[in-house]
Amino acid sequence: MATITLRGNPTRVDGELPRRGASAPALLLTDKSLNDVGLDAFAGRRKVLNIVPSLDTPTCAQSTRHFNADAASLRDTVVLVVSADLPFGAARFCSVEGLANVVTLSTFRHAEFLDAWGVRIADGPLRGLTARAVVVLDVDDRVLHSELVPEIAQEPDYAAALAALG
C-alpha cells in the first residue's frame, strides 16, 4: 500500500505498482470497440501505460495530450491511456481533441486491473478509481520505468518515462 495526496490530503492506494525489472502483470481492458484486450494485442511493441483516474479532468486530459504528441516520434511504441472512463467517452475525448496517437483502454469491466497493477485508490472522494501512474514496458513486457505520481493533481515525469525508452 502507498500513500499519495489529492490536493494535499493523504489518500491510500492499494497494492504495489510494478517495479523496474519486473514482468508486467497480466491485464485485460476494454477498447473503444468494446473488445477486451490484453498486452498480447500490442506484442512486439514497447508500451507506455498512462494510467489516469478520468479523461474528464484537466490533469488527465493534459497528460494524454502530452503523450499523444510524444507518441508521434516514438519508434515501435504504443501509448495506452488507461482510465475508468467508458470506452465511448474516451473515444469521444480523443476525437474532439484530435488525438490519434494513443489507444484508450477502460477498466470499467476489469476492476482486477486496479489491484494487479497497484493503482486502486482505496479511500477519499476518488475511491475505486485509478491513481495517476506511468509504466513503461519493453517489447517483452518487462518494466523499464514506473511512477506512481505522488499528487493526483500533478502531471507525471514525462522526461523520465521517455528516457526509459532510450
Q: Which residues are catalytic?
A: 60
Going by C-alpha positions, the residue among 117, 122, 116, 120 that lies closest to residue 11 is 122
- How far apart, in whole angstroms, are the C-alpha atoms of residue 166 and residue 152? 27
Residues 6+ apart with CB under 8 A from 98: none
Cell numbers describing residue 105: 483502454
Q: What is the dihedral of CA 43, 49, 51, 56, to 10 degrees?
A: -90
Residue that is written with C-alpha cell 477498466 in the block: 107
Place of cell 470497440: 33
User: Minimal CA–CA distance to 5: which of 161, 155, 157, 149?
Assistant: 149
Question: Would you say 52 and 82 are in contact if contact means Cβ atoms under 8 Å apart?
Answer: yes
